[in-house]
Amino acid sequence: MKNTALTDVHIKLGAKMVPFAGYNMPVQYAGINAEHEAVRKAVGVFDVSHMGEFILKGDNALALIQKVSSNDAAKLYDGKVQYSCLPNEDGGIVDDLLVYRIDEKTYMLVVNASNIDKDWDWITKYNTLGVDMQNISDRTSLLAIQGPKAAEALQSLTEIDLASMDYYTFKKGHFAGVDNVLVSATGYTGAGGFEVYFDNQYAAQIWDAIFKAGEPFGIKPIGLGARDTLRLEMGFCLYGNDIDDTTSPLEAGLGWVTKFSKEFTNCEALQAQKQAGVSRKLVGIEMIDRGIPRHDYEIVDAEGAIIGKVTSGTQSPSLQKPIGMGYVDTAFAKEGTEIYIKIRDNKIKAKVAKPPFYK
């Protein structure tokens, strides 16, 4: 089991620790609902240092990214971030990721913790152009400071004008007394905020500085439990649940990051799928009758015939109602369609909803 540079800090704070993607991670501190509310209404800090970071450098760095990813990275400029995915050769997804353009010949890819080795091997397989690849995951810490008060809470720590940063852009600068920190206006919560990348050796210093600066704003440490409820309220996909090696980006509603204006892995097959139409779609689920949709529960029609399965579900802390996501046959994918979730052999009424659930 790997630790992050802040594992001891989480244990001292009384976090409930769980194994996640090979790391010892905090799932909650005060409790999921309280932490969820802190991020929606004020500001919270997630240690997400388990995520993977690769640096790709050289004349052909962009060409390699274009080959392995579905979005068009040629649209990026220095300081811009892009959401994308790595299609496999069988119609599924190797991983979803963020692409950072540091300069014309240097990019950082941020990948899911559970897929670091898989993604590295996948990209390496296509690196026939001599691109210099560095896996900096084990020496890089990442904190996500999320919530409507994030910019105010952090501003005293940096000369970067945080409030003026556009969504999905980043800057490098001085932060909490440390040089060369990458501050990114990104996140997985829908609450606004920043993600901050730096070398492990500065983790405790930066963590302490953030909590000191954020104290007047009610800053709180947040675990992976609330990270999941926050992203689900926004309808953001979680790799391993809502997308995986068997789900196509088009089925998953990721057509907006699948650009057929360029060639990429398996693009012909995906383009054919787009033209023919997908047989199933990832949809939002809102319960009508009482019950919580859980991962792998069957979705059935009024007659009880199986039409899909739930990929994610929870009781939404912000909305105080059960929500979820799942794949259904395309005929049942229209917003408002009545569907049923099979919970302990009972058919529980629900309807198809369009994320985000939390507006």
Backbone angles phi and psi of 73, in degrees to 5: -70, -10
pTM of the entire structure? 0.98
Q: What band does 281 get if pLDDT is binned at 50, 70 and 90?
A: very high
- Asked if CATH classification 3.40.47.10 holds for the domain at 279-358, the reply, yes or no, is no
- Our separate counts of H helices and E strands in the chain read 8, 19
* Beta carbons of 343 and 326 less than 8 angstroms apart: no
**C-alpha angle 192-184-189 in degrees, rounded to nearest 5:** 30
In this prediction, what percent of the chain has a pLDDT beyond 70?
100
DSSP 228: H
- pLDDT, tens digit, for every residue of 289-347? 999 999 999 999 999 999 999 999 999 999 999 999 999 999 999 999 999 999 999 99
CATH class of 6-50+138-233: alpha beta
Q: From the annotation, which residues make up the binding site for substrate?
A: 195
User: How do the domains of the chain map onto residue ranges?
Assistant: 6-50+138-233, 279-358
Q: From the annotation, which residues make up the binding site?
A: 195
Q: Which residues of 182-197 are buried (b: 16+ CB within 10 A; e: fewer)?
A: bbbbbbbbbbbbbbbb
